[in-house]
Amino acid sequence: MSKTRITRLDSGLTVVTDAMAHLETASIGVWVGAGSRDEREHEHGLSHLLEHMAFKGTRRRSAKAISEEIEQVGGDLNAATSVEQTAYYARVLAADVGLALDIIADILTESVFDAEELEREKAVIVQEIGAVEDTPDDLVFDMFGLAAFPDQPIGRPILGTRERVSAFDRGAIGAYLDAHYVTGATVIAAAGAVDHDAVVEIASRLFTPFAARPAPAAAAARYAGGDARHKRRLEQAHIVFGFEGKSFRDPDVYAALVFANAAGGGMSSRLFQEIREERGLAYAIHASHWSLSDTGLFSVYAGAGGRDVPELCNVALDCLAQATVDLTETEVARARAQMKVSLLAALESSGARAEQMARQLLAHGRLVPREEAVAKIDAVDVAAARRAGRAMLAGRPTIAAIGPVARAPDPDRIAARIAGV
């Protein structure tokens, strides 16, 4: 059994907890509604750098002391940056929730951004950028985002570029922190062995340095579609093609998710069965749908030998187009079942539960009961899934490809193939 409570402090800060009676540990964190899409051009990569620098020392704790204090009680501390949010979170025993929140508050309100630590961490991130460039199945998704949303922060890689990251100084980090880490864009979430009133009391004391105002609005996304390819001497061509999808506020988002899952979400999906099992054209093939506050992306990824690229792309496009016409009740029911298991299994983890609550409050201003989410999944029928698929595939295509990709189709050829089925 769980018990969820929400308190909105006078400052604008939101605290949400889910007391899970059967647990003896707790997951607690701070989620800020600011990510890479909130960066101006000269700030590209700053959200991620700030996340790294938060752990590099405060007025009360050195970088070593931060890690030692949390690990002394058996806990762990981590952070993550995404397009629209940044999270700082810990997992500890019930008795150490106060310590965990004190450390997180300390790194977010009292970090010193030491100049030597900053230079070291910038070098680490430059290495991280290099690691992505050496991993084509990661790099191709960065290329895909840039092509789908050209000249916009929402499409740029979260890590930034070597040039931008290397140029950041303490002033840039502090200015970004002051502008975006504000109470109206911040949720403190905890799940597991937690006491709501205690978390509220601690939060109200520790986060007073956060400015009591809403965060500045991010620029609206403008999906354009496009073509990005990089010829490289690789054994495989790595390809992502796709279309604009549905935002998580769009009433058709669940239908889009069901379509993506049925078309290419598992080993029983059309794409996997036709392309890998029947034709052996690719080792990896899958479709996915990714939602943001005002847009989304539906995409298909595949890796194949250069000679197989034209056939692979044609077959994949034919499968998608055909699914908008004759997707079956059996396929839709299977996709719905897979989505429900994924949703409900995640909620068995206190960390996943805390993250979900924070993201829902930042996205919707309320918690979405699991019964409501399950009902919306169950409400997607064959007609709705087909309709969502047709709407997405009717848009301007985007393609990104790396490796032996000379024979990969361009957006016009993709659109023509879809229309011809």
Residue type, 304: A
Range 262-267, long-range pairs (CB < 8 A, 24+ positions): 262/323, 262/327, 262/331, 262/332, 262/334, 262/335, 262/385, 263/287, 263/319, 263/320, 263/323, 263/327, 263/389, 264/288, 264/300, 264/319, 265/335, 265/338, 266/334, 266/338
Quickly tell me which residue has 């034209």 as its tokens. Answer: 310
What is the predicted pLDDT for the residue at 348? 86
Residues 191/25, Cβ–Cβ less than 8 Å: no
Q: Give pLDDT, residue 216.
A: 85
Distance (Å, rounded) from C-alpha 287 to C-alpha 387? 17
pLDDT score for 421:
62
Distance CA(239)–CA(306), nearest Å, equals: 11
Write down the catalytic residue from 51, 121, 244, 331: 51
- How many CA within 13 A on the CB side of residue 84? 20
Q: Give the pLDDT of residue 420.
A: 80
Query: 51 catalytic, yes or no?
Result: yes
Pairing mode of beta strands 186-192, 14-20? parallel
According to the model, what pLDDT value does residue 2 have?
58
Q: What single-letter DSSP state applies at residue 217?
A: P
Q: Where are the domains of the chain?
A: 2-206, 227-420
Shared fold status for 2-206 and 227-420: yes
Q: What is the pLDDT along the chain (421 residues), one digit of tens a residue?
A: 558 999 999 999 999 999 998 899 999 999 999 999 999 999 999 999 999 999 999 999 999 999 999 999 999 999 999 999 999 999 999 999 999 999 999 999 999 999 999 999 999 999 999 999 999 999 999 999 999 999 999 999 999 999 999 999 999 999 999 999 999 999 999 999 999 999 999 999 999 999 999 888 888 999 999 999 999 999 999 999 999 999 999 999 999 999 999 999 989 999 999 999 999 999 899 999 999 999 999 999 999 999 999 999 999 999 999 999 999 999 999 999 999 999 888 788 999 999 999 999 999 999 999 999 999 999 999 999 999 999 999 999 999 999 999 999 999 999 999 998 6
Assigned CATH topology for domain 2-206? Cytochrome Bc1 Complex; Chain A, domain 1 (3.30.830)
CA dihedral 366, 370, 371, 373 (to 10 degrees): 80
Q: Which CATH superfamily is domain 227-420 in?
A: Metalloenzyme, LuxS/M16 peptidase-like (3.30.830.10)
